[in-house]
Every structure is written in C-alpha cells, then in structure tokens.
Amino acid sequence: QVQLIESGGGLVQAGGSLRLSCAASGRTFTPYVMGWFRQVPGKEREFVAAFVWRGGMTWYADSVKGRFTISGDNAGNTVYLQMNSLKPEDMAVYYCAAGGPGALVRYRDSYAYDYWGQGTQVTVSS
C-alpha cells in the first residue's frame, strides 16, 4: 500500500509559478514511475509529466514542455512538479500517481498507475 499526499496548489496570476509536492509513504510497493495528471470538470484526466526513479528519465505533455519540470528527491520519498509561466488553461486539479513497471511504457495512460493522491487545486487568474 502506498499513500500519496499532494501539496503546493493555490491561486497564482498568469505568468507566475507554483511548485507541487507529492509525498509517498507506507510503501510495501516500490513505484517505478511517478506521474502528474490534471483534470478539469467534465473532461478526462490528462497526463502532465512522469518521472522514473531509477535513472531519472522524464516525459512531458507537449502543452507543458519547457514550462514544467518534474523531479524526485534523493531519498525517494517526494516528487515535485515545478510549474513556471502558468497559463489560465493550466488551471485544474492536479493529481500525483505511482505506478509499477507497466507504467514505464504506458506512462501517459492513467490506468497504468496503481496509486493516486487526493489532488490539489491549481487556479490561474488571467
């Protein structure tokens, strides 16, 4: 069992920055891939970024490439999403997710992840 707790969401003006954190605890499962997804009402959950603990490989959605950075701490407990140059279209509930080896290939697919956090709201004002 893995518990994921997100933090760092809030209200920011367009062009501003936020850093989201996802703390993992209670692990009897070793996550291979950590992902960030986002969702707005009425739409499907959307892939944002993913990070591989072993090797540090990262992937990004085209819509956030160059503006967002995903990273993990050395202890292997916390994953971050640094969001810069935020746009109104980035406004959503952001979710952290943990996946096993299957997520290495299907990292864009929310169904590839085994555990999810409760979500944190990001609001961007124009």
At 38-66, the pLDDT tens digits run: 999 999 999 999 999 888 899 999 999 99
* 22 residue type, one letter: C
Tokens of 35: 């992902």
The full length of the chain comes to 126
Tokens of 45: 């959950």
CB contact set of 81 (below 8 Å; sequence gap of 6+)? 19, 20, 22, 36, 48, 49, 68, 69, 70, 94
CA distance 68 to 59: 10
- What would the pLDDT profile of 93-117 be if each residue is shown by its tens digit? 999 999 988 899 999 999 999 999 9
Question: H or E segment at 10?
Answer: strand 10-13
